[in-house]
Amino acid sequence: MSELKTIAVARSADGVARVTMSRAEVFNAFDETMIAELGSAFDALAADDAVRAIVLAGAGKAFSAGADLQWMQRASQASFEWNLEDARRFAGMLDRIANCPKPTIARVQGVALGGGVGLVCACDFAVAADNARFAVSEAKFGILPAVIGPYVINAVGKRHAKRLALTAAQIPAPEALAIGLVHAVVAPDALDEAVDGLLAQLGQNGPRALGEIKQLFAQLAEGPVTPQVRELTAQTIARVRGTDEAREGFAAFLAKRPAAWIRS
């Protein structure tokens, strides 16, 4: 990966990669450069077999204030064609996070605003400090949360998502927990401990199985279990049962020993 200007990426021996947005002076607001670097980073980490899970964080006092306003001002003065390509790049970055085969955790402190909420919702898990605040704030600037909209809806449901988008109101971490925007709320000084606890749980499970879960669940929607869905799930489990990881998992359980993927 070439020299990074807006993010930092660190890998640890236990298979955890930490991607940190590093524009603390603007509360980690993202622009074209950060969007490109986040997309490239998640591509690289997705392809790295040594990486078992990814933590997305923000440096300084905030997780992310969303779109850099100077970037948005440039967009408001640009052509439709420029805006379309720019929006496609943003959409592609969120897709790389959401469809990363590795479990992803958003570590949220301070504020997550606008596109920052989109980043939270694109991750599999979100752990927030109890003083964090969230707002889908685009309407305040005369625009709308279009690209992040599907991820917000998937996280909290359509009715909560519409309320957040239409009011642009900030909500506190406990309310974000109640509507499913985040999965855990802890004291600020316990944030890293909570993230590490979740990483420890993930580390007990087969890494390829976790990727299979993400891939399968991305194809499933709430509603009737159709013949096509039944066939998809049967085909998937039949294939995965025959993998080396599955054989190791069953052998380890029967032998009452840790599976090979569990690191001390």
Cα separation of 41 and 23, whole Å? 16
- In sequence order, what E strands does 150-256 have? 171-172, 184-186
**Which residues are the active-site residues?**
138
Neighbouring C-beta atoms of residue 209, cutoff 10 Å: 15
Cα–Cα nearest to 71, from 32, 108, 104, 103 = 32
DSSP state of 30: B
Q: C-alpha distances in angstroms, 257 versus 46, 102, 202, 241? A: 29, 25, 18, 20
Cα separation of 214 and 56, whole Å? 17
Q: Which neighbouring-strand residues pair with 144?
A: none
> What are φ and ψ of residue 171, in 5° steps?
-120, 145
DSSP state of 51: -
Cα separation of 70 and 53, whole Å? 33
Q: Is the separation of the CB atoms in 51 and 102 below 8 Å?
A: yes
Residues in Cβ contact with 108 at an 8 Å cutoff, skipping those fewer than 6 apart: 58, 63, 120, 126, 127, 128, 129, 132, 182
